[in-house]
Structure 1
């Protein structure tokens, strides 16, 4: 029978290192957190061979006294907590007191530090857990930690490390997270002697732009909401900047980068109605809350946390982001992609104004001249009453009769975010001009979003008006559709439909939602019945409600090759400006693109 015995201290430290020091990036994270906790205003990072050869972090923080240097490399020794009460409301990033000890057990570590009141610095070295005596060293201020030859004494662990490039990418990501969390600190990062990042102390927005780039900065909205002891602030990218991976998602709780299922689900739900298929949102968000309401002592790496009231937190995050993305004002601040703009960035900010682009000539403010006369375009054009029936007699703040028709009319009015219509392209796109340049609007996608939002609001307010059909629509149905219609009359009525059995093989549609009266009634009814019998009536009005309304809106939206007049196009643009989430259709695709005047100048090589 095997006997129980105590493990040697070195082996205990190496086991702990397996949890804390997964790779060089893990060690870098722990050392950077110590520098931040020390009150440093400047932190320099030097990495060689992806961090396997050397990771050096220098700061100008408070420093460590000579007598405390051996304790800094001892297990479970820390200056950041003293009691259980401190552990229940941790305010520092590092507090476990085992990071440096774990790193020292699997590397050759050198720690040099000088406190503010010390005459000179002191240095201590550790190799495989064995400590040297402190000795004098040259250091102006703060602390320098050098980690050499990671896993030199545990070659089995070293075999699992990836290439230098891969390991450096992980180190760079750890660096980005810390740099984003503390924009007031200046950071530098070098790899193999080459500078990769030089970040000066700045405000949050500038630090975000410096790390994630101007594209993210220009396509994001700034959020700052507070409720009770919760505050959520930072930048959330509009759906136009969606990503194919989660590489631009940064969430911080009380300054600590975390990955949490509750938070991830709330953010995913907030973006669900505006993102296309498998695209992922991008954000840099900071959550501030009472330290006693979150437990950060869940995992050795401290990236997982536990909340006292996760449900309330979920609702707060979801509603904050959902409200920000739904605001029609985001139209005027959105940045949208400009496919194929010669010599320009792929992402162009709609904040650009006339005459500010480099090398572009200055233009006076122009009056807006329609390309075509304000009469129905060639083809089967709809009368002006067509949009009156779709949107109501008036659009928000403007009647169809008041839509600008002549150059003088355009000059009298302020130019709205989506500008004024110029004409229609191939019966599919609306061309519009605003103060910044040319807009191309997918009229079907835009109208689809408008109807979708109207249906959601009407269903929520229980005022979904129905339109009786002058001639009921009759269609042949199978037994499953007939049974679904008979068994779910109340659900269909709530959705605005009156569908009845005409015979054992026929159904008749007597009324539909008023907003969809111009849709293909038979096809619309078939799709609604299919949704109900496929997913069940209860889910159709709960978890599948938005999918159902999206299907209904798609049927009612204007179709391609339907020619519109200038007033009808302008009515659609004004509706978009007043509609939540109108930058994307129900499937997450963009509803409009903007090409700035500067990009047009580049395409035609003006100003050269």
Structure 2
């Protein structure tokens, strides 16, 4: 029998390896930026065209490479970072696998220009699909310039899996944020399709955060600083009142490397326990410095997951450090046992002596409640007559009008009893004479129970209201006949640069729903009108939810963009679970739901109501 196992060709092996390292253009951006940082650069420039599908170029002023190193850098498992397996647990650099450039070169057109400081000329290498097409001597500045063009040109199937340009650009910006936040001592510049998107000068950590997320972020930050033998924590957490419904501004860095850790994220959440509204998440930008021997970075191809030697200790230290900072800066309530008791005394009495004084009681000894007869004519209660024996001269006047009052009281009771008999009689009248009324009942402030001809209907109030609002917004956006209410004072909202860009792209559709925008800047926008159904206090929440939905699921077609906008606004404005509704509100919601085109499901294709027939109810009692 012939042998069936064979070695893969190098170009096929490189393409398979590229599937682990390069998932999308953002993966190329991450690898190239990390290589530039390892080269000791002080200035790094990132150039993007067509969301990285056409061009990803990184230019740095690092130490550069020799001709031999430039050629070897594209070989598989060629690296200058490690010499043996033990070095994997002593890493202080970014790229160490030696797979990045080889994988990128296997699926793209790559052009490398590099020069060391002491050399007069540099080297230029052009590679297409792992094949070196040219190698020349060029005049180039000190450092390295690496251009990656036509990503996945030889793997069309992988290229088809890429999302729209907006989605891919969002992922590139996320990687740019992560690298830039980890290294505030390096200047970063990013260009997208010829225009400058970010210009981040060398600064401290707080300034870097503000430069990325906007000037309004500065007032939201609370410093965290803790240094122990096991762990050093530095950075900032966001104040609870600025918590968002999304997890966008949550960054962990371990030894200047961005990581994702649900376990450590839970430590932050527990530190904010009792301070956040339900469904919101605190922002944090935390740097953790640990001994490289206590972590294992080499457990995931993208190196965003790290295994810690003692996670429980890190959890406790991180939670305590954040709690301490929140209490130290009066963000969280604390018990202060060293409070000066003199603070309880008003300032005006701080130096005066307090003299005890006995309260005085004055009595009007000449007061006689029986002195005036008129005071008892309107009061049919003679109880006090037995306690005053000195005034018995006009005792008959106490009972004047009592008999007539008693008769009136009896007459009143008889009338009430007569009305009650009439109401009781109407209840037990013939059933055919009573008009049947459909009634509703709210169950646990979550479901609305209503009677139908065949039995009973149970409706989810949140999903049902989503369907009603969704179809209303979709109609308004499509027909462009929405009603807007003008605000007495313009509403100014602050967002990051990229969030403002997203809102600008959706400006026309938002105006079709009733929003009116008067001014846009790089980090803020001004609203002068909102839809009639939208409270002013909900505007910022709606836009934040909309931005989150767009970032996670940006559609390609205009119709899909309209659909997503209607879904997002309906989700934000729908009646929440736990909200009590009046009878007329319950009936109105039921009627509005069944007036919709598709009342059976919510905008997210979840069931809005169920029905139960009388026969099904009867079977429950068998």
Shared fold by TM > 0.5?
Answer: yes
Q: TM-score, normalised by structure 1?
A: 0.55
Give 1:353-372 correspondences, 5 Å limit. Answer: none
- Which moves more between the two structures, 206-215 or 151-160? 206-215
Give 1:24-423 correspondences, 5 Å limit. Answer: 24-327=25-328, 329-330=330-331, 396-398=339-341, 402-404=345-347
Superposition deviation, residue 404 in structure 1 = 4.9
Q: 1:480-503 CA deviation, whole Å, 9 max, x = no partner?
A: xxxxxxxxxxxxxxxxxxxxxxxx
CA–CA distance in 2 between the matches of 1:40 and 1:400?
56
| Between structures 1 and 2, the one with greater helix share | 2
Superposition deviation, residue 286 in structure 1 = 0.2
Superposition deviation, residue 162 in structure 1 = 1.1
Superposition deviation, residue 67 in structure 1 = 1.1
- Which moves more between the two structures, 183-192 or 118-127? 118-127
CA–CA distance in 1 between the matches of 2:78 and 2:255?
23
Q: TM-score, normalised by structure 2?
A: 0.54
**Considering only CA atoms, is the larger Rg found in Structure 1 or Structure 2?**
2
Residue 68 of structure 1 aligns to a residue whose secondary structure is helix
Superposition deviation, residue 272 in structure 1 = 2.5
**Contact 1:126-1:132 within 8 A present in 2 as well:** yes
Superposition deviation, residue 215 in structure 1 = 2.5
Q: 1:528-586 CA deviation, whole Å, 9 max, x = no partner?
A: xxxxxxxxxxxxxxxxxxxxxxxxxxxxxxxxxxxxxxxxxxxxxxxxxxxxxxxxxxx
CA–CA distance in 2 between the matches of 1:39 and 1:102?
23
Residue 251 of structure 1 aligns to a residue whose secondary structure is strand
Give 1:399-548 correspondences, 5 Å limit. Answer: 402-404=345-347
Number of residue equivalences: 349
Residue 134 of structure 1 aligns to a residue whose secondary structure is strand
**Contact 1:66-1:134 within 8 A present in 2 as well:** no
Q: 1:586-608 CA deviation, whole Å, 9 max, x = no partner?
A: xxxxxxxxxxxxxxxxxxxxxxx
Extract structure 1 runs of 4+ deviating beyond 6 A: none
Residue 47 of structure 2 aligns to a residue whose secondary structure is strand
CA–CA distance in 2 between the matches of 1:277 and 1:50?
36
Which blocks of at least 5 consecutive residues in structure 2 are unaligned? 352-622
Q: Are 1:10 and 2:38 an aligned pair?
A: no
Superposition deviation, residue 395 in structure 1 = 11
CA–CA distance in 1 between the matches of 2:271 and 2:14?
43
Cα RMSD after superposing both structures? 2.3
CA–CA distance in 2 between the matches of 1:291 and 1:401?
52
Change beyond 3 A, Cα 1:9–1:396 = same
Q: 1:168-202 CA deviation, whole Å, 9 max, x = no partner?
A: 11111111111111111111000000000011111
**Contact 2:275-2:332 within 8 A present in 1 as well:** no
Q: 1:439-478 CA deviation, whole Å, 9 max, x = no partner?
A: xxxxxxxxxxxxxxxxxxxxxxxxxxxxxxxxxxxxxxxx
Residue 67 of structure 2 aligns to a residue whose secondary structure is coil
Superposition deviation, residue 398 in structure 1 = 4.6
Superposition deviation, residue 132 in structure 1 = 3.1
Change beyond 3 A, Cα 1:398–1:38 = same
Superposition deviation, residue 34 in structure 1 = 0.3
CA–CA distance in 1 between the matches of 2:167 and 2:330?
41
**Contact 2:111-2:148 within 8 A present in 1 as well:** yes
**Contact 2:190-2:196 within 8 A present in 1 as well:** yes
